[in-house]
Structure 1
Amino acid sequence: MKKNIFLALMVFSAFNSVSQNKIELVGNVGVGTLAPQAKLHVNNGDNSYGTILATSSESEFSLYAKSLYTQPVYSEAFRLGLKHNNTEENGFISFYRGTSIRGGFLGFSTNGFERLKIDVNGNVGIGTSSPKQKLTIVGDQNAGDQGGPINGQNSTALLRLQSSPGGAGEVLDFGMNIKSYGWIQPQDFNDPNAFYNLILNAKGGNVGIGTINPDSKLAVNGTIHSKEVKVDMTGWSDFVFKKDYTLPTLEEVEKHIAEKGHLKNIPSEEEVLKNGINLGEMNAKLLQKIEELTLYMIEMKKENQILKNAVEKQNKEIELLKIKNSNQK
């Protein structure tokens, strides 16, 4: 009994010896203040630390809450972070004040540098303190040429989407080549030679390049430069060579040109300027005309051969007649 009374007196004496610590039986707990305004209110003075020591053998580490100047507006007012002795560069969260009741924002720092910020409008900036979009990423690229995408383990991408954790599986990288071009590259993280297909609008919709109103699966407002273009076709023009095909006479062709100003089944200049041309369809139509022209040439050759034979026959008859007349003299 005497022991319990002694302990009670020691606790009571300890509380009275530190006049600014107050624990209420019901209500709030104050450390460094006699008027706690929250369940736990730590008051360590202006621009100083309220510190919780780590519960590990490395006692140099501590979790700290730091109050800073709240003027001017939009300045860093409070900080919560991990400290090693008096160094605050392990990582911390900064709370920036707004005007009064609203407008504050957050910053997240590692190694003493702010890496991510959520501004007053909800925009998130990574590598920038002034994001203008919902997500803005600013990379630490060199002033020189970064080059294009390389393999998954050594990529210089500004943004990466990864299909599985642990540095394995497929990745989709987004990057920039300074003053040159931007790039998107799906690839394998572990295999430097494995690059995957990039699919756009797999379920539907059109893709536009140089246009905001694509009217086809791929609409390009500009020049397409390619080593090769492959067009799938549902038919071809070899029907011209079938026996049941009726080849227009040259007189019919001449009449159509005189009346319409273009070949039959070939679009006019007005139609082309208005609607453009279908590359595969136009090649088929042009081939049809080439095949028809080939048939005309074959027919003309036959007619020329007949005429040639007739002329040769006539010349022989003339020679024979000359010989006969000469003999009669």
Structure 2
Amino acid sequence: MLERLQELHDEAVTKIAAAQSRKELEDIRVAYLGKKGPITEVMKGMGRLSAEEKPVVGQKANEVRQSVQKLIEEKEGTLKRAEVQKQLEEESLDVTLPGRPVPKGSRHPLTSVVETIEDVFIGMGFQVAEGPEVETDYYNFESLNLPKHHPARDMQDTFFVTQDLLLRTQTSPVQTRTMEKHEGRGPVKIICPGKVYRRDEDDATHSHQFMQIEGLVVGEGIRMSDLKGIFEAFVKSYFGEDRDIRLRPSFFPFTEPSAELDISCAICGGSGCRTCKGTGWIEVLGSGMVHPNVLEMGGFDPEVYSGFAFGMGVERFAMLKYGIDDIRHFYTNDTRFLSQFTHE
């Protein structure tokens, strides 16, 4: 049996050395080391040996198996390296060719505008607050001094999910929710960016979905002059030091008194042109002192606290900043339009 094991070892060594492929090498492994191979057959016949012969033959069989297995592994490594080298030679790569540039993405212009506005107000001590886009009728209307059947609701006709749930028409509900969290203790100083929805006809200046940034300041002794000071700092930071502002009386159910904020026209410098319709001013946002009813529903005592609020359309500010004439450009995902803002 010892002689037979040595013969099998020598045969395997010769065949392994002559193998030209990994498939041929696998066939040799199965032929010699498999369950039906000759080495296994020799080991099965060890039952006929004497007690003195068994350990000798067993040790020799293990040595042969281990030697053959090692030679197969070494040969397989040699064949693998040869295959890789052949592939490299046949599939050579010309590294001198110029690379193909990968186009870079960029922030959406609306995202850039939101981040810019946030930076300005954070620099003035504001915090950024967010809330759900699907709101209850209470937070979207009633808590903002718009009870059921109030005629001002018609201007904010929206999409109802159920009788009481709707897609918010403004980010003002975040203001009420924030005041409730403060439990009647000031100060509150926040801006609320986010998407809002109204059942508007889509045209160059209107969309059924758009973005707003609203602001709220509540504290003791807050006055209209504080609101004007905030606006002056913001407008000069966002539009430039040469821009002037004015507050024009208006009406909003949730503020009293209310005012529209106008900025001087950048095209004509305030002298009047087609862009500003000859007035020299462009309306940019609505604002006012928080109505006592809104303060009370938010948990604040209107006899102690006062505040101001404002709301701006992000698309409008982006259109004014970049000279865009159609709001629909922001939502068509046209890369020809978006690629103009890669520097943002």
Q: TM-score, normalised by structure 1?
A: 0.21
Structure with a larger share of its residues in strand: 1
| Structure of greater Rg | 1
Structure with a larger share of its residues in helix: 2
> More relative contact order in 1 or in 2 (CA 8 Å, sep 6+)?
2
